Structure 1
Amino acid sequence: MPTPSPPPSPSPRPKSQDEPFWIREAEREAAREAERAAKPQPLTRERIVRAAMAVADGEGLDAVSIRRIAGELKARPMSLYAHFDSKDDLLDLMHDAAVEETLVGEVPADWREALRLIARYNRAAVLRHPWLLATGDTGCPIGPASLKRMDESAAAVRELDADSAVRRALILAVDTFTLGHVMAELSGGIRRRATAAANTVRRDATTEYVQTQIDAGKLPHLADTGFTELLYNDDPESSFELGLDWLLAGAAAALGE
């Protein structure tokens, strides 16, 4: 006599009915997000500029071309010209978009704190976008963010008891110090990365050679600075803050503040 088959197991309830509502809703939102990502995104000026900035951040300004950015956006190169007339226009837009990151918003009333805050924002933006040093040197037209940046600098020294020429000189001094320090930071970072990637033996040999010269008494003043730390191990942020302290303290003393 044949053995009767066991009764079929009840079908499991759909997973979505067993899970809490918020988990099901999160899954739905993830599916909607994936669907949105799969759809072609409209080509806008902002998307073009952000894509160009990302390329410049990662590979340098020379890597930015209309063809390259169009490829990043999966668009035809000619379609980008609906948003600007030339590559120079794109560089101008990139510059102003990066300068927007330097805006502090609320400028402190105390000129020392205001200039310090602006310097910190400037340093951070240039470290994120080193190509700003180049676009700033190409005579980019002053865009909306750049004008606002100038206005914030003027606001920073508005309470300073000095004539307009002194105020402008102080702004320039802080900007010059900030950009000079950033250039040194970027240069040191490039050297360290290149040395680490190529040949640490050369760096070690150089350090050892200079140390022998110090030990022989041939470099007495360099010995007092701490050669190794001076070249390789200084904390750039601490160095920046210390130099800024000196600059602002010196300006305050000279202005009788």
Structure 2
Amino acid sequence: MLVWERPEPAERPVPAPLSRERIVRAAIRLADADGLDAVSLRKVATVLDVRPMRLYGYIDSKDELLDLMVDAAHAEIRPTGDGWREVLRSLAESTRHTAHRHEWLADLLGGRPQFGPHALATGECVVAALDEVDVDAVMPLVAAVNAYVIGAVRREIADRRAERATGMDEKRWQASLGPYLERTFATGRFPALATVVHDAAHLDADATFHIGLDCLLDGIAARLAK
């Protein structure tokens, strides 16, 4: 029986009350602070002041705990708006904001679909907004938006992690590469790249994300108009 359907143990009069929700909240606190490597059943039990074996009455494995954490994060992803375009934009922005609040989420998004109750609620909201789209096109359109968001947030979070690891923000990192790029571009071997680096506007992550999202939604609109 999947964890979503498996009943929790009956409450017991013990010094440290326990529930699946408390376990998940504790795991998320650990992951928010120090990443997924900080999450283990032993560490969660320590935070909750219980013995690790008590957790197995609520979850069967760390993989199951990660599934519960991802579904809890989906409770923060609540697309809104009228029509498919507004809802797909809201899905993209809400997913991105949630991943920024919980960086570990970017490592777990993608792959097989999530079927926890919060993930299903998010999916229902999105699919309902696509009720006028051909049924065979619904999931490919949603998958395209999700793929774009996952790729974008993973890059953004990788940049954050690199900044923390090196102590260099984006401007300092770019400055450190400047002399190398100038020497390389001076060879004339990469004229197109040199033009973009020298002349194009250097947009921040927010502007880059929204321009890319607009391009994707424009493409979807053009396809649906056929």
Q: TM-score, normalised by structure 1?
A: 0.72
Once the 2 structures are TM-superposed, how far is the Cα of residue 98 of structure 1 from its aligned partner? 0.9
Which of structures 1 and 2 has the bigger CA Rg?
1
Query: What pairs up with 1:52-131 in 2 under 5 angstroms?
Result: 52-104=27-79, 107-131=80-104
Between Structure 1 and Structure 2, how many residues are aligned? 211
Identity of aligned residues (%): 40
Q: Counterpart of 2:188 in 1: which secondary structure? A: coil
Q: TM-score, normalised by structure 2?
A: 0.80
CA contact (8 A) 2:110 2:150 kept: no
Matched, 1:156 2:129: yes
CA contact (8 A) 1:110 1:159 kept: no
Matched, 1:256 2:202: no
* Corresponding residue of 2:8: none
> Out of 220, 242, 245, which is 2:214 matched to?
245
- Unmatched 5+ stretches in structure 2: 1-14
Mapped partners of 1:102, 1:57: distance in 2: 17
* Corresponding residue of 2:10: none
Mapped partners of 1:178, 1:166: distance in 2: 19
CA contact (8 A) 1:51 1:72 kept: yes
CA separation of 1:191 and 1:80: change in aligned 2, threshold 3 A: same
CA separation of 1:139 and 1:114: change in aligned 2, threshold 3 A: closer
The one-letter code of the counterpart of 2:193 is: L
Aligned-residue CA RMSD in angstroms?
A: 2.8
Matched, 1:236 2:205: yes
Matched, 1:211 2:187: no
Q: Counterpart of 2:76 in 1: which secondary structure? A: helix
CA separation of 1:201 and 1:245: change in aligned 2, threshold 3 A: closer
- Unmatched 5+ stretches in structure 1: 1-39
* Corresponding residue of 1:177: 148
